[in-house]
Structure 1
Amino acid sequence: MAENTTTDAAPAKKGKLKLIILLVIVVILAIALSVAGTLWFLNGSIPGMGEDTATSEDAVTEEVFTPSVYLGIEKALVTTVQGEGRQRYVQVYVSFEATDPQALTAAKLHMPLIRSQLVMVLGNSSFTELQTPEGRQNLAGNMLDTVNQVLEQEGEPTVSRVLFRNFVVQ
């Protein structure tokens, strides 16, 4: 009887080992399918599976990143504006952003004319407008138009944005 119990234990161990191996294979297969499904969902295709990889590489090479360069006007633009029946003061520090460094070189060359025009734009603004974010965005747009008009008149490349570094209304 003692011999029967030991021979029965050996087939039971082999059955458990086969079950464990089968479960491990199923789990690995499930993980692999999950990763492949996620890649297909995110990219639209599975990498390395045909012609799609060549077209995605071509699209990446066509799009070239051009970093922006900046020029800060060191002196503040200060002027008075009318607000609530009395004079108010506005002080603005601005910077210019461009993707072409030549545009900033041109802006630096024509800075006296640009500063004069920007003070005029700032002086024509309303105190109540300058207190709102929308008013400040409109002012930045007007300043950008003014700077680009000056640069275009001089035959120079234009800047892409006017940025406020500091903005005070009092």
Structure 2
Amino acid sequence: MKQFLRLVVFFSLLAPFSNSYAQDQPSYAYIGIEPEIVTNYLGSSATKLGYVRVMIEIMVSDVDQLELVEHHMPLLRSTAIEIFGRQPEEKVKSLTGREDIRRAVLAALQDHMQQETGAKVIKDIIFTKYLHQK
């Protein structure tokens, strides 16, 4: 019985700390670039093009920023399409190349949001669908 009481007291002492910890955590939110991106990329020769089909989810640090990202979605979508269109076939097809593209798209989207809103806003992006064909 004493051990039970000790546990109850112990957990009741921890409760205020766990609640404040939860409040300090950012409330991440996601918004997808809709519709999915389908665009061409540079093929192995100048006369051959491949295409890539990508679904991108944008992660923001706070739910309140979703409306801001949605407002600028045409600019963000256009930027992502432009970056994919400049990529060579080797980069589109490789896993390390895909990560390089993801980082390039992330940096460009963050830069645009910084210029348009004065804040970084976008925390990260995720490719939830990634298909390519030559």
For 1:73, the equivalent position in structure 2 comes to 33
The DSSP-based 3-state class of the residue aligned with 1:97 is: strand
- Does the 8 Å contact 2:40/2:52 carry over to 1? yes
Distance 1:68 1:112 in 2: 22
For 1:141, the equivalent position in structure 2 comes to 103
Percent identity among equivalent residues? 22
Distance 2:29 2:85 in 1: 28
Equivalent residue runs for 1:4-153 within 5 Å: 61=20, 64-85=24-45, 86-153=48-115
**Aligned Cα RMSD in Å?**
2.2
The DSSP-based 3-state class of the residue aligned with 1:89 is: strand
Higher relative contact order (CA 8 A, sep 6+): 2
**Could you say which structure has the larger radius of gyration?**
1
Length-normalised TM-score, structure 2: 0.75
For 2:113, give the aligned amino acid.
L
Q: Closer, same or farther in 2 for the Cα pair 1:84/1:166, shift >3 Å?
A: same
Q: Closer, same or farther in 2 for the Cα pair 1:142/1:103, shift >3 Å?
A: farther
Structure 1 runs, 4 residues or longer, greater than 6 Å off: 57-60
Cα deviation for residue 111 of structure 1 reads 1.1
Cα deviation for residue 154 of structure 1 reads 1.1
2:132 is equivalent to residue 169 of structure 1:
yes
Cα deviation for residue 74 of structure 1 reads 2.2
Cα deviation for residue 105 of structure 1 reads 1.6
Distance 2:118 2:67 in 1: 9
- Unmatched segments (≥5 aa) in structure 2: 1-9
- Does the 8 Å contact 2:52/2:132 carry over to 1? yes
Length-normalised TM-score, structure 1: 0.60
Query: Which has more strand, going by share of residues?
Result: 2
